[in-house]
Amino acid sequence: MEVKGFSVGQIMTNCYFVGDENTKKGCIIDPGDEGERLGREWASFGYELDAILLTHGHFDHVSALAYFVRNFPGLLIYVSEKDVCAEGSDKPEFWQCGRESGMRFIHEGETIAVGSMIFQVLETPGHTPGSVIFKSGGMLFTGDTLFAGSCGRTDFPGGDWRAMLASLKRLYDLPGEFKVYPGHEWTTTLGDERRTNCFMRQALDEA
């Protein structure tokens, strides 16, 4: 599995390209902005784009979605229905594009196959009602649930601090070691976050 990360947009959101070296199929996780730039980068990445996986529905993680829908017909898009519904009845254009192209609503424990890669869906509400993490092998794509030394904000509409603590506790208890690819800033490991992340410690103390 090959992973390549980009920081895009004014908020410097992390977008990840993930490629399966066996089948040359790949996916994009959280195309947050700068669609044309990401399109050029994908062209040089060397994989066939099979799907887009969204950790949640905030604008800084989905704003380039419409670009890929227009330029990659038949593209599958995976997202929690809880975040689509949270946008209200007047959906932004990118949600409409997603529906027209093949949006799939994902749930806890579901698996998504991209080539020979398997991504397991972990529901981790807190930052948004529909926040999810994608687990594949020894990797966690955590969106805005877990950062290096921190966690996502819960003061936006739909945020829930108690749910965030429960999600962090769940991650703490996840068996094994993982490399963490967060939605902002730098990569980390789950082991490091178990040892040093004060919000994870709070989650344990209040469990």
Domain-wise residue ranges, the chain? 2-205
Other C-beta atoms lying within 10 Å of the C-beta of residue 109:
9
Residue 113, helix vs strand vs coil: strand
Taking the whole predicted model, whether its pTM rises above 0.85 is answered as yes
**pLDDT higher for 87 or 180?**
180
Q: Which tokens is 178 given?
A: 């993982």
Distance in angstroms (rounded) separating the CA atoms of residues 40 and 61 = 18
Helical (H) or strand (E) element with 65: helix 65-71
Kind and range of the H or E element at 82? helix 81-86
Q: Is the pLDDT of residue 195 over 90?
A: yes
Supply angle C-alpha 181, 185, 186, rounded to 5.
55
Per-residue pLDDT band for 158 (boundaries 50, 70, 90) equals confident
Distance between CA atoms of residues 141 and 181, nearest Å: 5
pLDDT above 50: residue 89:
no
Per-residue confidence (pLDDT) for residue 90, from 0 to 100:
47
Q: Is the pLDDT of residue 92 over 60?
A: no
Answer left, alpha or beta for residue 137, where phi above 0 means left and psi between -120 and 50 means alpha: left
Nearest to 30 by CA among 144, 156, 179, 137: 144
Look at strands 139-143 and 179-182 and give their pairing.
Answer: parallel
Question: Rg of the Cα trace of the chain?
Answer: 16
pLDDT value of residue 40: 96
Residue 88 has pLDDT above 50, yes or no: no
Q: How far is CA 184 from the centre of its chain?
A: 11
Q: For residues 1 and 20, is the Cβ–Cβ distance under 8 A?
A: yes
- Asked if 200 and 194 touch (Cβ cutoff 8 Å), the reply is yes
* Topology of the domain covering 2-205: Metallo-beta-lactamase; Chain A (3.60.15)
